[in-house]
Chain A
Amino acid sequence: MPNQQIKANMKPLGDSALIVQLGEGIDPKIHEMVKNLSELLTKHPFDGFIEYVPAYNNMTVYYNPYIVHISQKDERTAFEKVCVHMNRLINQIHINTNEKGRLVSIPVCYGGEFGPDLESVAKYHQITPEEVVRIHTESECLVYMLGFAPGFPFMGGMNPLIATPRKETPRLSIKPGSVGIAGKQTGIYSLETPGGWQIIGRTPLSLFLPDQSPPTLLKAGDRIQFTPISSSDYIKYKEMG
């Protein structure tokens, strides 16, 4: 049923975007609302709408204020007009808790040259590297958003037993496919970039697929199951493309 309880807060991000805040913190329920609002906005865009970026508990909506201005000529600002449209959509948000996101299995070769920080993460928690792998692979993670680099998933749901602070000195270059931990988050590097996450393994899968639509392996709402593989399996995956 339509939800009148949602208290959304809208704030301008400059003159061509606004942020719709749907709650606080990292919470799968708020994530469902963000996802539902994304679908509503895709179905019911407004004149001047450019695109949206979902995040943990909010959504940034990008628009062209000139087009908003000429499509509804009155005294209100373009920001106010977009707020009215977004409020109308927020009132239609349905939270369907039965509907689960797609489950994606991510094969990861843990440790060794692919996971140079596995040992230090284990040491930090005074457990063995095998236990880190077991904990990392046993619970499902949820992709809340993509950002930082194309196809880079920001995930929640990792077991906090292996939460580890970022490295004090970030690496200048991290190979694509590297699986890392930063605090309570786990993520996968999609491009070769600098970065400060603790790298515990690497997946042979490509996360950024510029010739496909959508151009990424993962999307917000996906459920992720990490699966350990050997280095020979890693090579086999790579060879299969």
Chain B
Amino acid sequence: MSVKVLHAGLLTTIQDTGRFGSQKYGVIVSGAMDSYSSRLANILVGNNEHEATFEITLYGTTLEFNEDTLMAITGGDFQATLDGVIVPLWRPIVVKKESILKFNSAIKGSRAYIAFAGGIDTPLTLGSKSTYLRANIGGFKGRAIQKGDIIPIGKTDKELIRRLEKNDINWSINFNELICFKQDMVIRMLKGTEFDRFDKVNKQTLLQNAYTLTVQSDRMGYRLDGPPISMAEKFELLSEGVTFGTIQIPPNGQPIILMADRQTTGGYPKIGQVITADLPSLAQLQPTAQIRFKEVTLEEAETIFVENELAINNIKTGIHYKLFH
């Protein structure tokens, strides 16, 4: 089974939930920007939730299927059509051979995910299928998908397709508690490791103003624009580990939030850290979106993390029952 790329779109890459274990070698994690949507797309087609999906950015991408299969689309709403008819999101879809799936432009969110039953059949590099563009590894030939590519898809459970075709699917999952698609958002953060190196005025600047997501933002980092933040005293920070959601203050005072393709280490002061549970919503912001930061405690952040994992587990149990019973 495979899908043929008729239009590449702006930036469509193959991503799983990340390349872990090689950061000590300087190899970045990569992976889906909105990991909740990617995991849920896989769950909807009966895959392992950490399987790779297509991550489609803002607009474009047209695919042709060369066999009957099962897929699910999650994340942003790009008004995707299947043979000209709008496709429902957040549920499994049976696709017939030669069907054409076309993504238009995002009316909600900024990243859409497609999972195919059986997964994407590209090789693992350092344990992951995620595309790392700068190093040309992972994904399809280490690059974004291009027109004319034929992407191999894993084997589909034919019996499952037949069964789902018979019982009309009239349900979808509720993602509202996990991901927010508002473009004017309160993002919850923890104190960063250098938070207390900033004086009261500068801490308040970050926590009391809205910051705009600039067009210079990408999978590597979100560059924000707003009242600049400065440090009373300059100090030299040696490079050390950073992570997804680290909020750094570079010399120009405009915050940068590190995203999926961040470098493994950084040397700018870290004023804050976006809580893991808010990263998927952050990943769905479009350029010009407004962000306000709200400080929470580590206890709160951990509690929300655990609640969200339990919610995903519940969805998984429910879907598994619907697909296989």
Contacts and interface: CB of A to CB of B under 8 A. Distances in A.
Indicate whether A and B interact.
Answer: yes
Interface of A: 11-17, 19, 25-26, 38, 50-60, 62, 65-66, 69, 77-79, 145-152, 154, 190-191, 193, 208, 210-211, 214-216, 219-220
B302 A78 contact: yes
Interface in B145-159: none
B26 A193 contact: no
Interface residues of B, number: 39
B306 A12 contact: no
A190 B26 contact: yes
Q: Which 9 A/B pairs are nearest by Cβ-Cβ distance?
A: A60-B241, A147-B265, A14-B273, A15-B301, A53-B241, A55-B240, A66-B309, A146-B26, A150-B27
B126 A79 contact: no
B264 interface: yes
Contacts of B273: 12-15
A147 B239 contact: yes
Interface of B: 20-28, 125-126, 134-135, 137, 190, 193, 238-243, 245-246, 263-265, 270, 273-276, 298-299, 301-302, 305-306, 309
Given A56-B239, A147-B239, A14 B274 contact: yes
Contact of B26 (A57, A66, A148): A148
B197 to A, nearest CB: 12
Contacts of B126: 210, 215
Contacts, number: 139
A58 to B, nearest CB: 6
Contacts of A38: 24
A59 B263 CA distance: 16
Given A15-B298, A78-B302, A149-B263, A216 B243 contact: no
Contacts of A65: 276, 302, 305-306
A50 B20 contact: yes
A214 B125 CA distance: 12
Contacts of B28: 150
B135 A14 contact: no
Most buried by A among B126, B240, B263, B276: B240
B305 A13 contact: no
Nearest to B313: A66
A13 B135 contact: no
B295 to A, nearest CB: 13
B134 A66 contact: no
Contacts of A11: 193
Given A147-B26, A211-B125, 15 more contacts: A13-B243, A15-B298, A15-B301, A17-B243, A53-B24, A55-B239, A58-B241, A62-B243, A65-B276, A145-B265, A148-B263, A148-B264, A148-B265, A152-B26, A215-B22
